[in-house]
Structure 1
Amino acid sequence: MSHLSRADVARLAALARIDMNDADLDRLSGQIDAIVDAVALVSEVANQDVPATSHPIPMSNVHRVDEVRPSLAQADALAAAPEAEDGRFRVPRILGEEA
């Protein structure tokens, strides 16, 4: 069983540039300890006989043929837009950079 001290948690918070008050440090030192212990238990169980998995059931990709089908005309799509420009939707600039 590992034990992370309050000073360890404060150091981790400083490295992550997270400002924590005394109450947060006290609370998180116990919670982080529980997380580290849980990871240690999983590490004990997992060995070379247990294959690594990302999903509990097998998954496969579903592919379909990429074929051209009739779709909405450009003018119809832009008809409901608040603003359009040069055949595209016009939206407000969100970045302060010049185009």
Structure 2
Amino acid sequence: MSQITEEQVKHVALLSKLEFSENEVKSFTVTFGKIIDMVEMLDEVDTDGVPFTMNVADNLNFMREDVAEKGLDREKLMAAVPEKEDGFIKVPAMLSDGGDA
């Protein structure tokens, strides 16, 4: 079994800005370990002679013509946003210190 630690789960939670109870951390530790074990089982599959495949479907990229279209009316858009600053839509900071990414 792959060894996922509770500290690793807590670290990922911190990076994801998620909060878990101790019981949830224990549960996720077990669950993530099982998931990684299943993925590691794929290493045991003999793939000699199997051609590399990027996509198993026969889908092609369906491209549409790049045509400019009229966008939203800026005044209507700005009238509908809860908070704006200097003509831009203001959103909550994603970084805890509010700095640049």
User: TM-score range, shorter-chain basis?
Assistant: 0.5 to 0.7
Partners in 1 of 2:6 and 2:71 — Cα distance?
A: 56
Partners in 2 of 1:20 and 1:96 — Cα distance?
A: 33
Matches within 5 A, 1:49-88: 49-50=49-50, 51-54=52-55, 56-62=56-62
Task: Please state how far the C-alpha of 1:36 moved relative to its aligned partner.
Answer: 0.7
Q: CA RMSD in A?
A: 3.2
Task: Please state how far the C-alpha of 1:46 moved relative to its aligned partner.
Answer: 6.9
In structure 2, list runs of 5 or more residues that go unmatched.
89-101
Identity of aligned residues (%): 18
Task: Please state how far the C-alpha of 1:88 moved relative to its aligned partner.
Answer: 7.6
In structure 1, list runs of 5 or more residues that go unmatched.
67-86
Which stretch has the larger CA shift, 27-36 or 38-47?
38-47
1:17 aligned partner, one-letter code: K
Matches within 5 A, 1:9-88: 9-45=9-45, 47=47, 49-50=49-50, 51-54=52-55, 56-62=56-62
SS at match of 2:20: coil
TM-score normalised per structure 1 = 0.53
Partners in 1 of 2:34 and 2:22 — Cα distance?
A: 19
Partners in 2 of 1:96 and 1:21 — Cα distance?
A: 36
Which structure: larger Rg? Answer: 1
